[in-house]
Amino acid sequence: MKKLLLLAVSLVSLAVLPSFAEKVKLTQMVSQDWTTEADEDLAKAFTKETGVEIEWQVNPSAQHHDLLKTKLNAGEGPDIFWIQSNKWTVKTDIDAPKNCIDFSKETWVKTMPPAKIESVSYNGKVYGQGYFVKGVSFPIIYNKTLFKELGLSVPRTYVEFKKACEAIKAKGVVPVYECVPAGWHHVLWVMQIGDRFSELQPGIVDKLNANKAKLSDVMGFKTAIVQLQEMVKKGYFGTDYMDNSYDNWASNLATRKAAMFVQKSGEINTLSKDYPACKDEFGAFLIPLVDAQTAQADPNGPARFGYSKSKYQKEIKQYFAFLARKENIQYKLDHTPSMTAIDVADSVGIEQHYLPAEKELFASIPKSKGTGIIWQDSVSYVNDQWMDVGKDLASMFMGQMTPDQVISAIDERRAKIAKAAGDPAWE
């Protein structure tokens, strides 16, 4: 009897074991702030549909890259991982040809616009998937009501911008909220207007990337840095810019302690939702340093990749295809408050939610100017040293470096990174 019972238990166990062994769990490693509740909801929906679980591994932003790189180098990469992707980091950061699944033949690739496909590709092969914010990248959000009270119009040149700042300063309001301790934000002023430098010196980007020119040869770049230094000296950032926290930008704008802030245009929503007592209206205009008036686009951004050594490649492809469905892309947009538009191909037919302020911004951009790409996406080895540039600019604000020294330091680091990457243009 006991033997029969043991045999029965063994047979049941054998029958049950295979179903346990089949349960697939995909690990997904991402930096904090790159995903939202919408992404988690979609992962749960995928699990419900397919039974494949998604295990999130969220890293502090300062450590994500090194943690991911360590795992990839050890041959123990997560099934899915994210990076801040552009056409260079796809190779330098994750060595996509070695570590990533080739998605070139997947049908969902065409849901991404051409510039986005380029940012997740290497040598003509598509390795990643990215659906991120669409629109003008980091314009200046400004207090429209205050501007109206002071009789100011949207500045389109640096001179007009200075006049507006002087008028706001005279009113006792800090013209522009800036937060240097964040390390990255104040760099936006000179990098977001990159297409203006190309406008002034056609072909300069190709020369920079071919190591036939340096940033010290880019006239507009030095002008932008000098103008930024002037803004600091004239007090347009107020007196606390070296101590301010990024997190307090909305409260400063909502309470009229400051009038302007360089920020994603979708964040105008934050002002109205988090500060309902604020009755001021907010708009956006382009950063007018060096009289830049080209809409700046950022086709790059956080993107996810599949690990080529994962034993669940079929499930990874399933997940990526699931996320590329129109209804799921729409879900991500509809349930991400700070995102008013998502960067996908027009053929997908997504209903974008541009704010009236954003439509007004698009309408104000001269059609002849078109859309340019931000400097850190078009010039190699600039994004890699973003925080270093931030420190150098902060040193310049303190009077410890000159604009020429800041530019030389950037050139020096570009050369160092290029040589380390084995870039043939620097050999």
Partner 1 sequence: MTRNRLYPLYFVLPALLLYVGLFIVPGMIGIGYSFTDWNRYNADIHFVGFDNFRAIFTASKHYDVYIVNTLVFAVVSNIVKIVPALFLAILLCGNVRGKNFYRTVLFLPTVLSFLVVGLIFRSVLHPSTGLVNGVLRGIGLPFLAGRWLSDPNLVWPSIIGVDAWKGIGYVMTIFIAGLQAISQDYYDAADIDGAGWWSKLFNVTLPMLMPAITINVVFGITYGLKVFDIIYVLTNGGPGRMTEVINTAVFNEFASGSYGLGTALSTLLLVVLALIGIPLIRTMTKKEVES
Distance CA 262, CA 181 (A): 15
Query: Stretches 11-19, 289-297, 365-373, 413-421: which one binds partner 1 (CB under 8 A)?
Result: 413-421
Q: How many residues bind partner 1 (CB under 8 A)?
A: 37
Q: Considering Cα of 84, then 45, then 316, then 23, what sign does the dihedral take? A: positive
CB 115 within 8 A of CB 297: yes
**Residues in Cβ contact with 139 at an 8 Å cutoff, skipping those fewer than 6 apart:** 262, 263, 265, 284, 285, 286, 287, 296, 361
Distance CA 127, CA 303 (A): 10
Distance CA 297, CA 283 (A): 18
Q: Candidates 52, 133, 141, 180: give the one binding partner 1 (CB under 8 A).
A: 180
Q: Candidates 10, 32, 50, 73: give the one binding partner 1 (CB under 8 A).
A: 73
| Residue 36 burial class via C-beta count within 10 angstroms: exposed 0-12, middle 13-18, buried 19 and up | middle
425 interacts with partner 1 by CB under 8 A: no
Helices (H), 93-218: 96-99, 114-119, 144-149, 158-170, 188-191, 194-200, 204-209
The footprint of partner 1 on residues 234-263 (CB under 8 A) is: 239-240, 242-243, 245
385 interacts with partner 1 by CB under 8 A: yes
Nearer to partner 1, 91 or 335 (CB): 91
427 interacts with partner 1 by CB under 8 A: no
Q: Candidates 36, 38, 59, 65: give the one binding partner 1 (CB under 8 A).
A: 65
Beta bridge mates, 283:
142
394 interacts with partner 1 by CB under 8 A: yes
123 interacts with partner 1 by CB under 8 A: no
66 interacts with partner 1 by CB under 8 A: yes
Nearest distance, CB of residue 143 and partner 1, angstroms: 19
Where along the sequence are the contacts to partner 1 (CB under 8 A)? 62, 65-66, 69, 73, 92-93, 95, 98, 180-181, 183, 239-240, 242-243, 245, 384-385, 387-388, 391-392, 394-398, 400-401, 409, 412, 416-417, 420-422
